[in-house]
Structure 1
């Protein structure tokens, strides 16, 4: 399973809550991976204009816009729009008429499901996710009365 979208959403929301830049080393520790993997993955977000990076002491990754300006679809596209589904036709050009019927039915279902998923990704901003996090945190924090 490709978890890059989930992992980058995670990092971007943390970045939106931070006062300063996030180093690749800190991000790698958060994600349980290597700083090189973080830099490689963040490169697509930088090219899309959602983050910037500064080298050297005090440097790191920071957002170029607010979380309300970035959707899950934006991040998905910046990461290279990986295949949504891991399954598909056994033979894309079969001679068997049954296999042709199966492929057409399966392809239609996959196209509909992908369109629905992409629309949902477009409807959710990172600010929406961050707000959900804030609600969850507030529910855990005892109120002082």
Structure 2
């Protein structure tokens, strides 16, 4: 089953941008991420709409972070990406006629909601500054 890895990719890109200290082109970010520049532009466009990055044109242009890293949570980034599904599992049938399957769905839905709520709370508590600090610690090794 395919996983949505955009949040991980965005975090990777933003930390590279922060470390670089100057605007980065879509091509340079694509090289860091091992993807296509079009994918980078599409994703960065979502972050631009959320007010987190900006694009500069010209010879020394590219994408740059405009938000304070300590004020940007993983949850904000998840939301900026359109809130992709957090789990790759789900009910076999969303509207079953069978009462057994209805009971199964009710139990699973409750568990999924609790797990998603907990994960989003955790995402809220982690900032880009936290990740940048973790990178800085690892770089010193």
Whether these two folds match at TM > 0.5 is yes
Q: Paired residues, what number?
A: 139
1:63 deviation in Å? 0.7
| Structure 1 partner of 2:17 | 15
Q: For the aligned residues, what is the CA RMSD? A: 0.9
Select the residue among 19, 41, 44 that pairs with 2:43: 41
State the distance in 1 between where 2:16 and 2:32 align: 10
**Moved beyond 6 Å, runs of 4+:** none
State the distance in 1 between where 2:35 and 2:86 align: 23
1:133 deviation in Å? 1.2
Select the residue among 54, 57, 60 that pairs with 2:56: 54
Normalised to the residue count of structure 1, the TM-score between the two structures is 0.92
- List gaps (5 residues or longer) in structure 2: none
Normalised to the residue count of structure 2, the TM-score between the two structures is 0.95
- List gaps (5 residues or longer) in structure 1: 141-145
Matched, 1:122 2:124: yes
Q: Secondary structure at the match of 1:52?
A: strand
| Structure 2 partner of 1:143 | none
1:93 deviation in Å? 1.4
- Based on CA coordinates, which of the two structures has the bigger radius of gyration? 1
